[in-house]
């Protein structure tokens, strides 16, 4: 699964940064691949992994907020499949618009998350945001 995500990320990197139509088409192809995956566990891995393939830019029409919210609702915060890459959970949380809303759960999660690399990354991002913006509500 990691090889699939790496390949898709490489494809994303080869697109022109301002070719938003091609980027949207790429995300649509990824969504189709996820939907077509018959194995539920692999489908969950792909759901998490899609958040290392490009980033949202709502002003440019690249908005995955609904996809991110659905992924978080589907997998929850503690699903081990988020560990496919240390950035996937954090990216999904930011793109969902739920980072601040889920702050207390994230703080609790840091102390007991089964994947230490994910907990460490969440803790680092929480610290940086706190340092720059003060405490989250």
Per-residue pLDDT, 128: 84
Per-residue pLDDT, 134: 60
Look at the chain and report how many structural domains it folds into.
1
Per-residue pLDDT, 105: 86
Q: Domain span at residue 97?
A: 2-133
Q: Which pair of tokens denotes residue 90? A: 């954090």
* 35-55 CB burial, b ≥16 within 10 A, e <16: eebeeeeebbbbbbbbbbbbe
Percentage of residues in the chain with pLDDT exceeding 90? 48
State pTM to two decimals.
0.84
């Amino acid at each position: 699964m990691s090889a699939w995500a790496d390949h898709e990320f490489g494809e994303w990197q080869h697109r022109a940064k301002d070719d938003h139509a091609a980027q949207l088409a790429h995300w649509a192809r990824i969504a189709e691949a996820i939907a077509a995956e018959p194995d539920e566990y692999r489908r969950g891995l792909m759901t998490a992994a899609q958040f290392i393939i490009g980033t949202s830019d709502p002003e440019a029409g690249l908005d995955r907020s609904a996809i991110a919210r659905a992924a978080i609702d589907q997998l929850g915060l503690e699903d081990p499949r988020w560990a496919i890459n240390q950035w996937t959970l954090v990216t999904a949380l930011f793109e969902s618009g739920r980072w601040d809303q889920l702050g207390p759960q994230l703080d609790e999660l840091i102390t007991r998350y089964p994947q230490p690399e994910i907990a460490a990354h969440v803790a680092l991002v929480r610290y940086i945001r706190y340092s720059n913006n003060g405490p989250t509500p």
